[in-house]
């Protein structure tokens, strides 16, 4: 899933001394929204995590900081969907027995994950969404 963010306010031709062009910032934020992992987003734009965190806290990095927060929220929703699917459907483990050259596949359900997701869904049901008439 690729999320498209609107262009940042700075002109696309402008290159910052630290390498964080608007296009690079946009790609970082799109990768962060898709993966939720800072390191992977930094690798995608070939910038260090230290540089990303430095831009995030700078005064002129306010738009980047807001985009970062939004990307994490998008990634959080995707992660919750993935965890709910795993809690409901379980996961498969394949065990190989090398000497005999055969495999055992077992289907497992993580009860702790299922209970955590159920508690999350209960909290969501107890608190109506903003803007609803409930």
In order along the chain (134 residues), what is the average pLDDT of each group of 10 residues? 65 64 95 96 96 94 95 92 89 80 84 89 80 50
Does residue 57 lie in a domain region? yes
Does residue 127 lie in a domain region? no
Does residue 34 lie in a domain region? yes
The angle, 0 to 180 degrees and rounded to 10, between the axes of the packed helices 62-89 and 22-35 is 20
Q: In the 8-state DSSP scheme, what is residue 92? A: E
**Half-sphere exposure for 53 (CA within 13 Å, toward CB):** 5
pLDDT value at residue 36:
93
Three-class secondary structure assignment of 34-85: HHCCHHHHHHHHCCCHHHHHHHHHCHHHHHHHHHHHHHHHHHHHHHHHHHHH
Does residue 123 lie in a domain region? no
Cβ contact 56:63 at 8 Å? no
pLDDT value at residue 134:
44
Nearest to 25 by CA among 37, 35, 15, 36: 15
Does residue 61 lie in a domain region? yes
Task: Report the number of distinct structural domains present in the chain.
Answer: 1
Does residue 118 lie in a domain region? no
Does residue 32 lie in a domain region? yes
Does residue 78 lie in a domain region? yes
What is the residue range of 82's domain?
22-89
């Amino acid at each position: 899933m690729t999320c498209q963010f609107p262009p940042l306010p700075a002109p696309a031709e402008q290159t910052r001394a630290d390498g964080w062009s608007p296009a690079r910032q946009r790609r970082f934020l799109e990768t962060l929204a898709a993966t939720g992992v800072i390191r992977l987003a930094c690798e995608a734009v070939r910038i260090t995590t230290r540089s990303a965190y430095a831009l995030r806290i700078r005064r002129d990095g306010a738009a980047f900081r807001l985009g970062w927060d939004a990307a994490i929220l998008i990634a959080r929703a995707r992660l919750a969907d993935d965890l709910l699917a795993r809690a409901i459907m379980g996961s498969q483990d394949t065990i190989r027995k090398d000497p005999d050259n055969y495999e055992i596949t077992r289907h497992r359900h993580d009860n702790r994950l299922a209970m955590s997701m159920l508690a999350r869904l209960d909290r969501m049901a107890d608190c109506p969404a903003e803007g609803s008439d409930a």
